[in-house]
């Protein structure tokens, strides 16, 4: 009887060890994950970065996109995001001064460029800034300045040109800068203020007008590590990759300025 019990114990021990060594490598193969909130203007470049990062590392990246203001509100209200890529500096700075953001992790990952865009051929012969005052324009699009950094920059342009009050009734405010581009592209607006990255990636028609940089503050886009990702080495790996030369070179091709 004792011999039988000992034999059973040996078999159970062998099975346990076998199962342990089968499960261990399997667990190591399971990809860890991070959750990233990204401003809508940066979603297309971000998809490239995500794919490249995932291919290089055994880490899955989940994206949440929207206006910087809406993402900020989500973070404040407890959204389980590990990293926040804003389209401005102010919101990451605010998070840095709360328990939601990790001090010392914020940096500028890109500087955006604002353009004026239209698919209305009746406007193509106009020059900037005269085109904005054309009587042929009924609707001018921009992101809502309260929530969209590119919309705030557009408002600064109109204020600098001293024409904001003149054309205010024609303004159509969108929830993000991508929506401004799409509404222009499909003819729902006569003209609009867009991110240069949208024009480079998506445009097959239309005309753009460059906007002098002295008319609006530089659109410095900052990223910050959030409390939820503070203990995740994968999140810090992603931030390091975001600042790599490989990513910077790619961002230039998307129309951004990088330092």
Domains, the chain, in order of start with CATH, read: 29-111+221-253 (3.40.190.10), 112-215 (3.40.190.10)
**What is the pLDDT at residue 204?**
77
> CA–CA separation, 179 vs 147, rounded Å?
13
**What is the pLDDT at residue 3?**
45
Res. 90 pLDDT band, cuts 50 70 90:
very high
Tokens of 234: 């994968």
Res. 202 pLDDT band, cuts 50 70 90:
confident
Q: How far, CA to CA in Å, does 246 sit from each of 51, 53, 219, 226, 241?
A: 13, 11, 22, 24, 8
Beta partners for 63? Answer: 36
* 13 pLDDT above the threshold of 80: no
* 86 pLDDT above the threshold of 50: yes
DSSP 136-203: T---EEEE-TTT-HHHHHHHHHHHHTT-HHHHGGGEEEESSHHHHHHHHHTTSSSEEEEEHHHHHHH-
**Other residues' Cβ atoms within 10 Å of the Cβ of residue 128:** 16
Res. 9 pLDDT band, cuts 50 70 90:
very low
Percent of the chain with pLDDT over 90: 83
Q: Report the Cα 94 to chain-centroid distance in Å.
A: 17
> CA–CA separation, 148 vs 154, rounded Å?
10
Res. 25 pLDDT band, cuts 50 70 90:
very low
Q: How many helices (H) and strands (E) does the chain have?
A: 10, 10
Which of 12-26, 60-74, 222-236, 242-256 has the least mean pLDDT? Answer: 12-26
Which of 28-37, 72-81, 219-228 has the least mean pLDDT? Answer: 28-37
- Tell me the residue length of the chain: 259
According to DSSP, the β-strands at 207-210 and 219-225 are: unpaired
Which of 8-22, 136-150, 181-195, 204-218 has the least mean pLDDT? Answer: 8-22
Going by C-beta distance under 8 Å and a sequence separation of 6 or more, which residues neighbour residue 154? 114, 142, 143, 145, 193, 216
Res. 227 pLDDT band, cuts 50 70 90:
very high
Helix (H, G, I), strand (E, B) or coil at 83: strand
**What is the pLDDT at residue 7?**
44
Say what the pTM is: 0.83
């Amino acid at each position: 009887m004792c011999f039988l019990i000992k034999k059973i114990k040996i078999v159970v021990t062998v099975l346990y060890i076998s199962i342990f060594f089968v499960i261990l490598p399997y667990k190591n193969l399971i990809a860890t994950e991070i959750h990233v909130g990204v401003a809508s203007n940066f979603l297309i470049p971000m998809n490239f970065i995500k794919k490249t990062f995932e291919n290089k590392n055994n880490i899955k990246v989940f994206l949440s996109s929207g206006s910087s203001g809406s993402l900020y509100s989500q973070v404040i209200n407890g959204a389980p995001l590990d990293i926040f890529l804003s389209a401005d500096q102010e919101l990451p700075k605010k998070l840095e001064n709360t328990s939601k953001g990790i001090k010392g992790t914020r940096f500028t990952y890109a500087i955006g460029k604002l353009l004026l865009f239209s698919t209305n051929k009746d406007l193509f012969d106009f020059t900037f800034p005269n085109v904005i005052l054309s009587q042929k324009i009924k609707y001018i699009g921009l992101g809502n300045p309260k929530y969209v950094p590119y919309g705030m920059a557009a408002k600064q342009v109109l204020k600098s040109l001293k024409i904001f009050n003149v054309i205010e009734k024609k303004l159509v405010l969108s929830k993000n800068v991508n929506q401004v581009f799409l509404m222009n592209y499909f003819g729902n607006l006569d003209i609009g203020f867009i991110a240069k990255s949208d024009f480079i990636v998506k445009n097959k028609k239309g005309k753009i007008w460059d906007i002098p940089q002295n008319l609006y503050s530089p659109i410095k886009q900052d990223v910050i590590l959030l409390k939820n990702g503070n203990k995740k080495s994968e999140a810090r790996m992603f931030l390091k990759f975001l600042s790599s030369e490989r990513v910077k070179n790619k961002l230039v091709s998307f129309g951004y300025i990088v330092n």
